Amino acid sequence: LADPRFFNKPNSLSLESIAQISGAVLGDGVDPNFLVNDLAALHQAGPDHLSFFDNVKYKDDFLKTKAGACFVHPDYVPHAPSGVRLLVSKSPYKAYAKIAQNFYPEPKADGIISLQAHIDQTAKIGAGCTIDAGAVIKAGAEIGQNCIIESGGVIGQNVKIGDFCRIGTNASVSHALIGSHVRLYPGVCVGQDGFGFAIDPTGHVKVPQLGRVIIEDHVEIGANSCIDRGAGPDTVIGQGTWIDNLVQIGHNVRIGKGCVIVAQAGVAGSTVLDDFVALGGQVGIAGHLHIGRGARIAAQSGVMKDIPAGEEHMGYPAMPLRQFMRQIATLNRLIKTQKNHKS
């Protein structure tokens, strides 16, 4: 259960409202007026709590749960313990996510601008913004409505940010145009020069980085991740893409819509990710490559070639998943053979 020290106690919701918000359907005979007071995991839930069952691994918890109500896939309705009010959905986890958002909404801007924030007089701040102590807004910056700029967040000269954005503590933003509903987590660095230079024995010659970072709506960028600005073209993060912590995105990279990039992955300069690409943790992608729509790259893979749409790759260097599995099986067989030869 959420610690009231950090989270506001939610209001109660009727199962009827929950069904409506989540798109789930009430099970047979369930009282639509039954009130749920909070959320909890299957094994912790009590009679006034809502839970969800989405992963077979937790079937035992499901069978024994004391939850007052539970999201469940249609296939599992027959196995449900009696006494649990069912909310039937083909996507129980997504249904749960929607109700959790309703119970525990994101913090909202409250319109309070700290006297201890450092705001240039030429910056434009939209209505309803929160700007915390120690935040810095530089000359010519434009912040939309209802944004939150947290302590130590630095919004560089002429940067433009849309509505309902949240810029985390100690994040740095320059040379960027940012859409609405964007969230940068603490320590994120956006818009610094990319790693561009001409090698020279008497001292590398820096190539001025003349592009920008374009971040579309509903993007999230995790703590301490870095997005370099373009060298001439822009670096682009497409709508609804989610980037985890400590990720590196090089200059000129273009990332499509709805991509997911897990922690510590890195994408080198000028590579293009089409929509809905997924990169596992610590994946590395070389520069100037093209990763097709919906491709999925397993954690720690090192990608050195283009990847066609929809394919799943793994390995170092990365190869189609099936080939990687065969490689591992072959190696294991060889080692065994070898041991037999020796003995």
Letters for 10-29 (x = contact with its own copies by CB under 8 A, - = none) are: --------------------
**Contact by Cβ (8 Å): 75, 92:** no
Q: Which is nearer to its own copies, 68 or 187 (CB)?
A: 187
Q: Is 178 helix (H, G, I), strand (E, B) or coil?
A: strand
CA–CA dist 226, 78 (Å, integer): 49
Shortest separation between residue 286's beta carbon and its own copies, angstroms: 6
With CB under 8 A as the contact rule, the residue among 17, 21, 34, 41 that binds its own copies is 41
Q: Taking CB under 8 A as the rule, which mask of x and - marks residues 167-206 in contact with its own copies?
A: -xxx-x-xx---------xxx-x--xx-x-xxxxx-xxxx
Interacting stretch for its own copies, rule CB under 8 A, among 24-32, 63-71, 78-86, 232-240? 232-240
Residue pair 321/314 in contact by the 8 Å Cβ criterion: yes
Q: From residue 301, how far is each of 247, 298, 319, 323 by CA, in Å?
A: 14, 6, 9, 13
- Distance of alpha carbon 91 from alpha carbon 111, whole angstroms: 37
Nearer to its own copies by Cβ, of 29 and 199: the residue is 199
CB nearer to its own copies: pick between 44 and 145: 44
Q: Which of residues 233-272 bind its own copies (CB under 8 A)?
A: 233, 240, 242, 244-246, 248, 250, 258, 260, 262-264, 266, 268
Subset of 285-324 contacting its own copies (CB under 8 A): 286, 299-300, 302, 316-317, 323
User: What stretches of the chain show up as alpha helix (H) in DSSP?
Assistant: 15-22, 59-64, 92-103, 321-342
Closest approach, Cβ 63 to its own copies, in A, equals: 20
User: End-to-end CA distance of the chain, in Å?
Assistant: 58
Active site residue 251: yes
Closest contact distance (angstroms) between CB of 140 and its own copies is 8
Contact 129, 145 (CB under 8 A): yes
43, 251, 288, 341: which is the annotated catalytic residue?
A: 251
To 10 degrees, the CA torsion angle through 304, 306, 309, 313? -20
Do residues 318 and 303 lie in contact, with contact meaning Cβ atoms separated by under 8 Å? yes
Q: What string marks each residue from 133 to 172 as x (binds its own copies by CB under 8 A) or -?
A: xx-x-x-x---------xxx-x-xxx-x-------xxx-x
CB of 22 to its own copies, least distance (A): 10
In DSSP notation, 83-94 reads TPEEEE-S-HHH
Taking the least distance from each CB to its own copies, the nearer of 77 and 133 is 133
Nearer to its own copies, 32 or 317 (CB): 317
Nearest-approach distance from CB 84 to its own copies, in angstroms: 18
What are the residues whose beta carbons fall under 8 Å from the beta carbon of 175, sequence distance 6 or more?
156, 159, 191, 192, 211, 212, 213, 229
What does the block give as tokens for 312?
Answer: 């799943």
Catalytically annotated residues: 251
